[in-house]
Every structure is written in structure tokens, then in C-alpha cells.
Amino acid sequence: MIKPIVAVVGRANVGKSTFFNKICGKRISIVDDVAGVTRDRLYADATWSGKDFTIVDTGGVELSSEDVFQKEIIEQAMLAIENATVIIFLVDGKTGVTQADEDVAKLLRKQKVPVILVVNKLDTFDVTATYEFYSLGLGEPMPVSCAQSKGIGDVLDQVISYFPQDLEIEEVSGIKISLVGRPNVGKSSLINRLLGKKRVVVSDVEGTTRDSVVIPFRCNKKDYNLIDTAGLRRQRSVEKQSVEGYSVLRSMNSIEMSDVVLIVLDATKEVSEQDVRIAGYVHEAKKPSVVLVNKWDEKIYTKDEFVKTLNEKLSFMSYFKVLFVSALTGKGLSEIMTTVDEVYENASRRITTGILNDILHDALMNFEPPSKGGKKSKIFYVTQAATNPPKFVFFCKEPQNINFSYERYLENRLREKVEFSGTPIELMFKGKEEE
């Protein structure tokens, strides 16, 4: 499913980060009284009344400010605004309408998507305090108190009412494969090479790809679908930080649509924080993946050096598989589809309960579960609950005592005995009474 994008915008210190965290149900955004703390956009998945969406927290927009960071903050906020399904404009009910509010409102009135005006910090819920905000020309102001969690549900009801009904992508046969990565790493060039013809516009200008494109094709008598990640909708700016920040947001929907994700890196550049962040989204989405190091004909490292760097930077997804390829020369491309099949097969693998419990027995013999507060954990048995990704449920005594280290130990033992390379696996621990 392609998720709608909800952007939260407003000047500094109106409570955007608190609002963002309340919707997400966890503390993702930093909350601070100092203006300008949230400089980049923060993203998180959220759900309301059965509707899934991505919420984006932007930096505090002060169009007339001379702050050295404001140009960057405004660019980041504009990228979020231009690609939002719905915009929430948050203002401060205690301070009233400010010039900064009027500047942002003028900007938002030009947008072609719904804007919901939300007045925060109304702890007593005095609706009369919202009246002056009608002057912003954005419709009826909605009162909320983020600190007391009042009125947020009403805002979200309004938000989801604007979601389009046709969010499901058309069902297609074959494995769906997305290519994600920073702009200009060669995603479109790789697609054109794989297809053997020019189906996607290729350019040296960052942000050439404007929409997510699903391209059916056959390889080795099998059906596949390639998803080319969208780049900039409008080329307002090709400055590095703005474009790279945008690529993460646009990649998220493509990742959700995929069965296998190809994470494309540039062999001529160091592995960046942005590369790691995009790989992190793939890992969090629990999608099988292959790391493609493109432009290997122009390499600046040896394979051993590059793999060592990947092991350090992608330690959270130690199961990764890597291929060194060149879209320009065709080097290594013949291995891509074979590896895609392998990691998808690994993600779809189902292990019998008997084999799983043999593996568990050996693991317990070597290293017993941890104890806590004098209460010792005991694992009775394990079963596989799902595939894509493989999910295993361990039934235990004192399951709350199973810590991260022991969970990692059990995962490693599973991976030693069963071929799960290229795919994440999930481990859950339940009390015996939850069977």
C-alpha cells in the first residue's frame, strides 16, 4: 500500500515535536524549548482508525528570520509540503497570531492540498481563543492541547477524511523489486541495463526521476516488477542535503510496495549517513534486500575494504548480501536477479517445528537463558508463525527476562543452521499461557 504523507508545519515553539510524538505514540522527535531544534524532517509511520500514513515533522519555519540555519530548514519544510497528502499547520493559542504565522499561512494558501489549521496550547480548551486565527484564511481553526492530549483525535479524524480511496497499487504477478538509494547513484541506469532498453530517463542531474514507476519484465522465464524510486517532483533545488533528505521520504513508499529491495550505493563515494539511514528503513520494514555497489568500474576501494566498511556501518543488518556491479559496463549484473531469487526464497522459507526445536535444544545446551531478580527463564519450544519475513515464536517461562543479547544469540544460531542470508528474521517470546 502507498501511504499518504501528513506534514506538520509551523513556526518554532508551537509544539510540533510534542504533537508529532503524541501521534506516533512514542518519543521520536526531540522536544526542546530552544527554537530550531528540529532542523531536518523526521518521519514515522502512524495509524488512525485503521488508516496507515507517514507523518513528517518539519523544522520551525521563520521566513523572515536571519538565522543561519533557516534557509536549510525552509528547503526541508518545502519538500515535505510539496509532497504531502494533507498539511497540518500548527499555531500557538497562547501567543496568538504572529507575523511568522501570517508568512507561513500565505505560503500554505498557495498549496493544492488540504491544510488543517490547528491551535495548540489551549489547555482550558477555550474555543474563543481560536477566533483570531480565522484571519489566516485557512478555514476553521481546530483547538488542541498536545500537553494534555486533548483534541488530537478530532484532528486525526479530519486528516484521514482527506485520504484518497484508491491507495492500493494494482496487483501484479511476480516479485516486486524496488531500487532505493541516494540520488545519482545509478538506480535508473541499473534498471535500463536490467531491461536491456531505455525505459527510465537517465540523467546526471540529481532528482531526474519524478514518480515511482512500476515496470513489469521477464527474466529466465520468471515474472518480475521493477519499482524505480521517485526523485524530486519539481526541481526547485538540487542542493545535496535537500535532495538526499527527500530521497528517504520517497523511498519509504517504494520499500513498502516491495518484495525485495535493492539498496544501491556509489562505489566512488564513501558510505554516507544517508546510505545507512535508507538501509535502516529497509531493515525496519523487514524486507529482504541486496546491497548493490554500483560504478565498480570507477572504484576507489578494494572489495575487502568496502565490505569491511559495510560490516561496520550496517552492523544492525549483518545478514546483508552485497554485489559489486557497474551499470555502465554491465559488470556483475547477471548476478542480480539470481540473488534476488535467493533472498526472496530465504524470506519465504518455512522450517518444520521438529528441526526448529533441534536447533533450540543445541542452543540451550550451550548457553542457558538469562535470569533476573532470582527468576530464571526457561524456553519450552519454538514454532514458526509466518514467512516474509520468517517469524519465530518462543514459548517460555519468564519471557520478560530474555534480553537483547540472548535474542541475538538465538538468531545467530538459527542463521548458522538455516539459510536466511539477505532477509531479516523476527523472534518473539511469549509465556506458555499465551500459546
pLDDT value of residue 223: 87
Most trustworthy range by pLDDT among 16-25, 56-65, 247-256, 404-413: 404-413
233: confidence class by pLDDT, cuts 50, 70, 90: very low
Domain ranges of the chain: 5-161, 175-347, 353-434
4: confidence class by pLDDT, cuts 50, 70, 90: confident
- The answer on pLDDT for 36 being more than 90 is no
Rounded to the nearest integer, the mean pLDDT of the chain is: 81
Domain made up of 5-161: CATH architecture? 3-Layer(aba) Sandwich (3.40)
Lowest mean pLDDT among 23-32, 76-85, 112-121, 388-397: 23-32
CATH class of 353-434: alpha beta
194: confidence class by pLDDT, cuts 50, 70, 90: confident
pLDDT value of residue 312: 95
pLDDT value of residue 62: 64
Task: Decide if 278 contacts 247 (C-beta within 8 A).
Answer: yes
Cell matching residue 427: 523472534
pTM above 0.85, yes or no: no
239: confidence class by pLDDT, cuts 50, 70, 90: very low
- The answer on pLDDT for 237 being more than 80 is no
Lowest mean pLDDT among 2-11, 18-27, 329-338, 424-433: 18-27
pLDDT tens for 123-159 read 888 888 899 999 999 999 999 998 888 899 999 999 9
Tell me which CATH homologous superfamily contains domain 175-347: P-loop containing nucleotide triphosphate hydrolases (3.40.50.300)
Q: How far apart are CA 259 and CA 225, in angstroms?
A: 10
Nearest one of 110, 89, 45 to 249, comparing CA atoms? 45
Angle at 55 between CA 83 and CA 40, to 5 degrees: 75
Burial classification of residue 350, based on how many CB atoms lie within 10 Å of its CB (0-12 exposed, 13-18 middle, 19 or more buried): exposed
5-161 against 353-434: fold identical? no
